[in-house]
Amino acid sequence: MAHEVEREALARYLEQHNLKHTKQRDIILTAFLEAKGHVTSDQLYQSVRETNPTIGYTTVYRTMKLLCEAGLAEEHQFDDGVTRYEIEHEHHDHLVCTRCGKIIEFECRSIESTQDRIAAEHEFLVLRHRHELYGHCRECRDD
Amino acid sequence: MAHEVEREALARYLEQHNLKHTKQRDIILTAFLEAKGHVTSDQLYQSVRETNPTIGYTTVYRTMKLLCEAGLAEEHQFDDGVTRYEIEHEHHDHLVCTRCGKIIEFECRSIESTQDRIAAEHEFLVLRHRHELYGHCRECRDD
DNA sequence: TTCGGTGCAAAAGATTTGCATATGT
DNA sequence: ACATATGCAAATCTTTTGCACCGAA
């Protein structure tokens, strides 16, 4: 079975918190991992429904919240207002194409250190950040 | 009367677009400017209601949209999911305190040029960006 | 007089909650 | 058996829309 690492992480989390290991949770985790990040609750719901038409919206929402708490997923709000989930991994930022919706990840040490300097100037303790560039990707730009 | 510059900008915009200059628009603009940025629709609605209890939610929403189009306001979505409006001015980014809600603005040339470099690497045309650091401000941090 | 504007109520879209039932442990 | 999960429907919350009436030009 695929995604062994994540499934075990979930199992561990459930056990430690006295929660139950249900097939819904497993199905949703799998669908989420297969989607490879940046999915909306609705996309997830649709994809889960294809094979398991009895699973409800509620369970998708509750499970995604659980996966976030377990450190397997991360919630993200881009400018369109819809919540998306992505697989939790090394911190990075995003290029978002406002035409085709493509999301490209990037990561930049030099920006991060500048950020730290700015925060320090304000005596601000930074816990997380978001940095998104919106525009048109190579395929969508006109020029 | 205060906020002469903005009121005139609005008047000009309305005229140029064949829209009407109503007292609601004036009242909402004033409330928005007095709030000094980063207000939610609801805060605006409440504050407008104090002096003008007949103004509806709808008008607040429609007017804020109008002010954005006129270039007087700017819409912003922070991580709490609620839309906030701020007074449109020189581009800048934000430090957001997740304890007291304070929002500090900052601006950084060196980050912006790095951004441009990254975008260029992806042949991406950047139209706008957001960059927010979430954490605890000087007054709210524990250490 | 004529359009655009306003306010209400209803709709819409995303997410959450109450509750009876089902199911891991 | 017992406590937690699930799925439905209903509730919430924010924002938008339809529509009859109002008011600025």
CATH number for the domain harbouring residue B131: 3.30.1490.190
Is the same domain home to A37 and A97?
no
Q: What percent of chain B has pLDDT over 90?
A: 63
Residue of A100, A110, A133 to mutate, interface with B, max B Cβ within 10 Å: A133
Calculate the angstrom distance between C1' of D18 and CA of A41.
Answer: 30
**Number of domains composing chain A:** 2
Residues A57 and A118 grouped into a single domain: no
Whether the per-residue pLDDT at A1 is higher than 70: the answer is: no
A53 at interface of B, judged by CB pairs closer than 8 A? no
Structure confidence at residue A117 (pLDDT): 93
A81 lies in the same domain as A44: yes
Cβ A122 to strand C below 7 Å: no
Structure-block tokens of residue A113: 């250190």
Residues B74 and B106 in one domain: no
Spell B49-82 as b/e; 16+ CB within 10 A means b. Answer: eeeeeebeeebbeebbebbeebebbbebbbeeee
**Which pair of tokens denotes residue A126?**
């930074």
DSSP H helical segments within chain A, as ranges?
4-16, 23-35, 41-51, 57-69, 109-121
Residues with CB under 7 A from strand D: A 14, 18-20, 22, 24-25, 54-59, 62-63; B 20-23, 40-42, 57-58, 61-62, 65, 82-83
Which residues in B lie closer than 8 A to residue A94 (C-beta atoms)?
none
- Please tell me the predicted confidence (pLDDT) of residue B69: 95
| pLDDT at residue A90 greater than cutoff 80 | no
Strands, E, within B3-143: which ranges? 39-40, 73-77, 83-87, 93-97, 103-106, 125-136
Q: Is residue B140 assigned to a domain?
A: no
Does A134 contact B at CB distance below 8 Å? yes
Query: Considering A87, A111, A126, which residue would you say is the last residue of a domain?
Result: A87
Evaluated on CA atoms B79, B85, B87, B90, the torsion sign reads positive
Residue A103 has pLDDT above 80, yes or no: yes
Kindly state whether residues B74 and B31 are assigned to the same domain.
yes
Taking 80 as the threshold, does the pLDDT of residue B57 lie above it? Answer: yes
Question: Each residue of A23-71: pLDDT tens digit?
Answer: 999 999 999 999 987 899 999 999 999 999 999 999 999 999 999 999 9
Q: Which two tokens stand for residue B70?
A: 């006129």
- Note the pTM of the prediction, 2 decimals: 0.81
Answer whether residue B97 is part of any domain: yes
B143 lies in some domain? no
Nearest to A44 by CA among A87, A12, A14, A8: A87
pLDDT of residue B1: 60
CB atoms B97 and A124 under 8 Å:
yes
Residue A11 and residue A81 in one domain: yes
Alpha-carbon gap: B84 to the closest alpha carbon of chain A (Å): 12
Asked if residue B54 and residue B18 are part of one domain, the reply reads yes
pLDDT averaged over chain A? Answer: 91
Q: State the average pLDDT over residues A1-22.
A: 92
Q: Which range marks the domain in which residue A103 is found?
A: 93-135
Residue B126 within any structural domain of the chain: yes
Does any CB of chain B come closer than 8 Å to the CB of residue A97?
A: yes
CATH for B65 = 1.10.10.10
> For residues B41 and B107, which has the higher predicted lDDT (pLDDT)?
B41
Residues of chain B neighbouring A139 (CB-CB closer than 8 A): none
Strand D nucleotides where any atom sits below 7 Å of a protein CB: 3-9, 14-18, 23-25
- Cβ distance A87 to A36 under 8 Å? yes
pLDDT at A84: 92
- Give the pLDDT band (50/70/90) at residue B108: confident
Q: Is A101 on the interface with B (CB under 8 A)?
A: no
Residues B32 and B97 in one domain: no
Going by pLDDT thresholds of 50, 70 and 90, the confidence category of residue B20 is very high
Say whether residue A108 is in contact with chain B using an 8 A CB cutoff: yes
- Going by pLDDT thresholds of 50, 70 and 90, the confidence category of residue B119 is very high
Q: What are the phi and psi torsion angles at B18 (to 5°)?
A: 55, 40
Q: Which residues of B touch A79 (CB under 8 A)?
A: 77, 130
